[in-house]
Chains A and B, each alone.
Chain A
Amino acid sequence: MNDIDKRLTQGGRDNFSRFTSALNKIDPVMFGVITGLAFAVAVTGPAVVAEMAHRADIEAMGLKDWYIEHHKGGTLHLMVEAIKGNLQSETLQTMIRTSLFNGVTGVAAGLGLSLAKQFVNMKDEIGRLSQDNERLMRGEQPLRKTEPADTPQRDPNAPRGATRLEPEELAKRQENYLSAQLERGLRALEQSQDSDANRPTQRGPRLG
């Protein structure tokens, strides 16, 4: 690493630490999501870790559900739109695609940091919801119940699960699920990568 790399890394790290400290005061959930991505690519700094006082609150409230409820079309939506190629700015598109791809693969590699773990948990949850979505769309029940054990008793005659909603409303809601958005985005990313690379997509070890 030469002097320019060192100055850029140190200066960038200091700047980012101050930025996340300030962001945490404005929006703890967005702070959790973006610093989770940042940690995934090894952006570390003592000040960032020190500012994780709200982490327990984020986890307690349920990161994904809270984000969907209050940040419709927020940063995660931006990432999905970037993957799909729907953003107006090519620069922003490239930035987000690069970071998302590196960030997600970095997290998937299994960093031991608490924020990375949080993001992995969210990914697991998204994967589970995606499976449940598919089952619901086929008219089947989700694989696992998510209701807590102490949920009050329901009226036994009341419609349950997907049948509570009219088909149009159900479809509209499912379209907006974060899992559905991510699924569409990742599918688009795979397609664009296949066409860009113009090469076979076989992965993994080659046998024989």
Chain B
Amino acid sequence: MRPTTKPCQEWGDDTVKAFEIASENLDRAFELIRSAKLIAEDTRLFLQNQALIYAGYLSDVLAGRLASDPERHESMAEMINEFCALVTRELQGAASSGAASHE
């Protein structure tokens, strides 16, 4: 997911960078969700829709459409990263153990 317009001009480089990192993490998390074989379809849908909402939010923030305190937005980027970490931990871990059991 790459922003299609300029980031919010009033924010510092660190804030913008935090959101770009969150976007990259979300991209990877979504690929994991989409390709996961060990989760139920309901869970996949649940996670995909959450990822969409985070993506929509990131897109609006990076395009400068949501003006607010940068610190508040940074804390939300952190929540998105936590979501990505949860997905990565569970799905990559499951994939690794699944691969090991096949060997």
- Interface set of A (CB-CB < 8 Å, partner B): 1-2, 4-5, 7-9, 11-12, 15-16, 18-19, 22-23, 25-27, 30, 34, 37-38, 41-43, 71, 73-75, 78-79, 87-89, 91-92, 94-96, 98-100, 102-103
B2, CB-defined interface residue at 8 Å = yes
**Interface mask (B28-69 → A, CB under 8 Å = 1, otherwise 0):** 001100100011101101111111111111011001011010
Q: Are B47 and A98 within 8 A (Cβ)?
A: no
B87, CB-defined interface residue at 8 Å = yes
Of the residues B46, B66, B90, contact of A7 by C-beta under 8 Å: B90
A43 to B56, CA, bound (A): 17
A11 to B90, CA, bound (A): 10
A1 to B40, CA, bound (A): 7
> In chain B, what residue has the closest Cβ to A1?
B40
Q: Are B57 and A23 within 8 A (Cβ)?
A: yes
- Interface set of B (CB-CB < 8 Å, partner A): 1-2, 4, 27, 30-31, 34, 38-40, 42-43, 45-57, 59-60, 63, 65-66, 68, 72-73, 75-76, 79-80, 82-83, 86-87, 90-91, 94
Given A2-B40, A4-B38, A5-B39, 14 other A-B residues pairs in contact with their CB atoms under 8 A? A4-B43, A11-B90, A12-B47, A37-B53, A38-B50, A41-B46, A42-B46, A73-B63, A75-B57, A78-B59, A91-B31, A94-B30, A95-B55, A103-B49
A1 to B38, CA, bound (A): 10
Specify which chain A residues have a CB less than 8 angstroms from the CB of B65 in the assembled complex: 71, 73-74
Specify which chain B residues have a CB less than 8 angstroms from the CB of A99 in the assembled complex: 48-49, 52-53
Specify which chain A residues have a CB less than 8 angstroms from the CB of B91 in the assembled complex: 4, 8
A167 to B49, CA, bound (A): 40
